[in-house]
Structure 1
């Protein structure tokens, strides 16, 4: 394994604030509404955590 591959495996996933995620072009308007309601403004989140939050919200019973 090269040192470049090893370095990529040891770095943690980037984390983003609620504000950064809500302003991101990556998410649809409805996803941004979900994030606005569910994410805490004083925490940071990985993209995997955000995707799981959106999926969980959309799959919930009504």
Structure 2
């Protein structure tokens, strides 16, 4: 598939925005008094952060 430069720039912008939100979500859950209660949400958010970091690296290669 071919993507324009603008498409790639916008995709990176969206990924960066989502990464920021996920990192803030992780901080929020980890700071809660009963953070063990949110363990699955924290794990999911961390896995998503890693996936988006990989996506960002792949975008940089194009």
Per the TM superposition, whether the score is higher than 0.5 is no
Instruction: Report which of the two has the higher share of helix.
Output: 2
Higher relative contact order structure (alpha carbons within 8 Å, sequence separation ≥ 6): 2
